[in-house]
Each structure stands twice: as C-alpha cells, then as structure tokens.
Amino acid sequence: MRIIYSAIGSGIILQLGYSMENVTGFFQAFQKVFIPVMLALIIVSAGAGWFMARRALAGVGAVTRTARKISADSLEERVPVPGKGDEIDRLARTFNTMLDRIEQLVSGIKEISDNVAHDLKGPITAIRGAAEIVLTTGKIRAEFEQMGADTIEACDHLLDMINTMLTISKTEAGIGEFQPRDLDIDRTVQDACELFSPMALDQDLELRCETAAGAIVAGDVSTVQRMIANLIDNAIKYTPPGGKIDVTTGIDPDGRVVISVKDTGIGISAKDLRQIFDRFFRCDPSRSKSGAGLGLSLAKAVAEAHKGSIEVSSTVNKGSHFTVALPNKIEV
C-alpha cells in the first residue's frame, strides 16, 4: 500500500492508504508482454536489416564480379543495371561508361599499333631494298649518292609522321606546348591562302579566299596555322585540275568563328565519312596520293583542344566541305 499521513489537530493524525495491487499487476503484465515483444522486434529488425543490406549491396557485388571478369581480352563485360533509379544504378552506369571508354582506348591503341606497323613497314622495306640493290650492283659514285638522298627523304617522311603522331597525342591529352594568344583569324587564313596559291596555280586550280569574320580567337598560332594548312592542302591534293577551292571565315548564329574550306574535288563516300578523322585512315581514292592519313586527325585534335569542333559534308565527285568552329573572344 501507499500511505500518507498528516497532523490535523492536537494529538490527532490522519492517515490515508492506497492499495498498489492494481499497479503491481499492471507492471507484472507489462513485463510479461514487453520482453517477448522486444525480443521479437529485435529478431525481425535484424532479419529485415540483413535482407535490406543484402539487397542494397547486390549491385555492388555485381560490379565486383564484373571487375574480376575483366581482362585485356574480355573488355566487353558490362555490369547489369537493375533499373531502380538508385545510387547502385548510377554506380553501374558510371562503371559501364568507364568500361566503354577503356575499351575504346584499348581498341584505338591496337588500331594505331597496327597502322603504325603497316605504315612503317613500307618505307623501311624500300630503304633496305634500295640499299641492298646499290650495295650489290652499284659501281659508280652517283648511284651511292642517289641511294643516300632517297634514304634521307624516306627518313624525313618517317620522322614527320612520328612527330605528327606525337603532336596529336599531346594535343588530345591536353599536354601540348600551347602558347595561347590573341589570334586574328582573318589574317591567319589569308596568310595560309597566300602560301598555297602557287601550289594551286601549278595544278590549275582556282583558290579563292574571303575573310569577313573580324574576330579574335585565343589560340596557339602554330597549331591553328597547321590545322588550316592541312585542310587547304587536302583540298588542293584531291581536287582535279580546273576545280575551285573556297576558303572563307565568318560568324555562326552561336557567335563562334567559322573557318570554311570547300572544294570541287573527288569527294568522300558516306561509309568513309565516319572514319575520316581517324588516325592513318585513308580513303581508297587517296591511297595513290602522298601522305600518312594524319592531317585530318591533327586538325580535329587542334580544333577540340581550342574548345571548338570540326565537321565535314561531302558528295562523291562533287566535292567536300570542311567547317571549323572556334570560340570567339569578341562578344557579339
């Protein structure tokens, strides 16, 4: 019982008592129910937590299993995407994107290695053959001098190809020795046209230059000049006598500086357009011309390194149109 008392008068004390039997019964019933219920909740919670953790980490397990399967010969493996829209989905998509990029790079390295081996084999074989012939049959000094001159020419071609490959790789990797400065694109294009005018004249081609951009580009002078020169050189090389080449500059609706090189040459087939900017790629009609198939690859690398783009449209036997778009420093 719970008892309280108080003095209410002289020698008189009042005591009141309250029975605790109901409270004690309640606590006993609570203890009988609480402990089993809590134990059951703990077990259920542990099971649910284990299940949810397993389910949440199932995607991570798939990523891990896929990573273990990947090797140099099995880059086609991809992580399954559950499609729940959670973090695991984003992780799987990111991992697959990374695998796509790695596979593309490895394929590119293999392709470049094959192309380099193929392109180096020809000149080296020619050098060796010429040297062998002269050494076995040569009798006069002039023959040996001619062999030396041919060897130097072939070596210069190989060195130029290797240096161009290095320039493309450095440019694409962003480690090229760029020296950006304000570049008057109109003046640069005019200088390139003046440089190639004698070559066009020799091949009975009309080279027209129209510059009206009035824009300034922040870029590396030597690489931009080389990009423009490659485009004009290709236009001259693949345009038959009597053809026309138009080189223009302007501003597109987005405010970018546009350099356009349009010719009336042999054109490019639709199936070749997809690979025209790949290293060492040469269309069948162009294999009779000199070159290593690196000029357009370099042009693309330079344009992208300057945060620009290059596009091409072409029709067989009607001509090609290359367009380079670069950011304009002058607000329009």
What DSSP string describes 116-173? Answer: HHHHHHHHHHHHHHHHHHHHHH--SHHHHHHHHHHHHHHHHHHHHHHHHHHHHHHHHH
State residue 332's pLDDT score: 42
* Res. 218 pLDDT band, cuts 50 70 90: confident
- What's the one-letter identity of residue 27? F
Within a 10 A sphere around the Cβ of 122, how many other Cβ atoms? 11
CATH architecture of 87-173: Orthogonal Bundle (1.10)
State residue 285's pLDDT score: 54
State residue 19's pLDDT score: 84
Provide the whole-model pTM.
Answer: 0.60
Q: What is the pLDDT of residues 282-295, one digit of tens each?
A: 665 554 455 566 77
CATH tag, 180-326: 3.30.565.10
Q: What is the pLDDT of residues 183-216, one digit of tens each?
A: 888 999 999 999 999 999 999 999 999 988 677 8
Q: What is the pLDDT of residues 13-53, one digit of tens each?
A: 888 888 888 888 888 888 888 888 888 999 999 988 888 87
The Cα 327–Cα 224 span in angstroms is 13
Q: What is the pLDDT of residues 247-290, one digit of tens each?
A: 999 888 888 899 999 999 888 888 888 788 877 666 655 544 55
Q: What is the pLDDT of residues 99-143, one digit of tens each?
A: 888 777 777 667 666 666 766 777 788 788 878 887 787 677 787
* Helix, strand, coil percentages in the chain from 3-state DSSP, rounded to 5: 55, 20, 25
First to last CA, the chain: 94
Considering Cα of 6, then 9, then 11, then 14, what sign does the dihedral take?
A: negative
- For the chain, the maximum distance between any two Cα atoms, rounded to a whole number of angstroms, is 154
User: Among residues of the chain, what percentage have pLDDT more than 90?
Assistant: 17
